[in-house]
């Protein structure tokens, strides 16, 4: 995916990423501050056309729910109680969209908003196990795809980045390897308070919205070796 030079290239990689994550569908959808949209997805063209024609974004609980969130969400935690939402899900299911889904909301530079979503038809129990196992990789992939799309579309939306210190790199690297904060602090022989200072400093330098985004940016830029 790093080699993608056009948005068409990115579409091809989205299909491959769908297969890597072993899900039925994968979607990346971005809207910038002027309302321009870009999507790379594996849904059928007929369903995409129907969704746009009916302006289903107005009633889609995934879009409406994630727009108010900053953290990833399982579709089962969204509000599907209204009749329009239920009818929408029924039509989506008929079009091959699984009832299970996991979406990562992303807020980029200059008011950009994007969604990275995987969906499937696994049972509740199997889907819960799947998301628990893959949540970290899904979040990292979401931010990587978003950054790549921004680079292709606009060249770059990031200011010149300040160099990370060795300790900042160590902290993010251990988090990228799956260590929690307590384990990371112990391994680096520092307090959790000091670790938090390193993480926040690195996050600021990388222009990241949260720690996971900072790790994703660090990996994307080749600053972390795991």
- 7-154 has CATH 3.30.450.80 classification: yes
Domain 166-220 sits in CATH at 1.10.10.10
Q: Report the C-alpha gap between 14 and 185 in whole angstroms.
A: 36
The reply to whether 166-220 shares the fold of 7-154 is no
d(CA 193, CA 114): 32
Q: What is the pLDDT of residue 32?
A: 76
Q: Residue 71's pLDDT is what?
A: 84
pLDDT of residue 186: 94
Strands (DSSP E) contained in 19-159 are 25-31, 37-41, 73-74, 100-107, 113-120
What pLDDT score was predicted for residue 160?
A: 52
State residue 2's pLDDT score: 75
Whether the pLDDT of residue 33 is over 70: the answer is no
Instruction: Pick the range with the lowest mean pLDDT from 61-65, 181-185, 195-199, 211-215.
Output: 211-215
Please state, for a pLDDT cut of 70, what percent of the chain lies above it.
95
Residues 6+ apart with CB under 8 A from 102: 72, 73, 74, 75, 117, 118, 119, 131, 135, 138
- Give pTM, 2 decimals: 0.72
pLDDT in tens, 134-174: 998 998 899 889 888 888 877 644 445 578 999 999 999 99
Q: Domain-by-domain residue ranges, the chain? A: 7-154, 166-220
């Amino acid at each position: 995916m790093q080699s993608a030079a056009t948005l068409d290239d990115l579409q091809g990689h989205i299909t491959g990423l769908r297969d890597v994550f072993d899900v039925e569908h994968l979607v990346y959808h971005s809207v910038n501050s002027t309302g321009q949209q870009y999507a790379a997805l594996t849904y059928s063209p007929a369903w995409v056309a129907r969704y746009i024609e009916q302006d289903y974004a107005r009633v889609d609980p995934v879009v409406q729910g994630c727009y108010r969130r900053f953290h990833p969400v399982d579709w089962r935690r969204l509000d599907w109680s209204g009749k329009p939402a239920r009818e929408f899900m029924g039509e989506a299911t008929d079009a091959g969209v699984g009832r299970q889904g996991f979406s990562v909301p992303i807020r980029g530079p200059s008011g950009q908003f994007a969604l990275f979503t995987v969906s499937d038809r696994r049972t509740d129990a199997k889907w819960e196990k799947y998301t628990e196992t893959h949540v970290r990789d899904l979040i990292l992939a979401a931010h990587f795809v978003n950054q790549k799309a921004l680079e292709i579309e606009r060249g770059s939306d990031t200011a010149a980045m300040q160099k990370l210190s060795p300790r900042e790199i160590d902290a993010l690297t251990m988090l990228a390897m799956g260590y929690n904060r307590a384990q990371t602090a112990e391994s680096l022989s520092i307090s959790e308070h000091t670790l938090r200072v390193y993480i926040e400093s690195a996050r600021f330098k990388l222009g990241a919205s949260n720690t996971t985004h900072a790790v994703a940016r660090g990996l994307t830029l080749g600053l972390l070796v795991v």
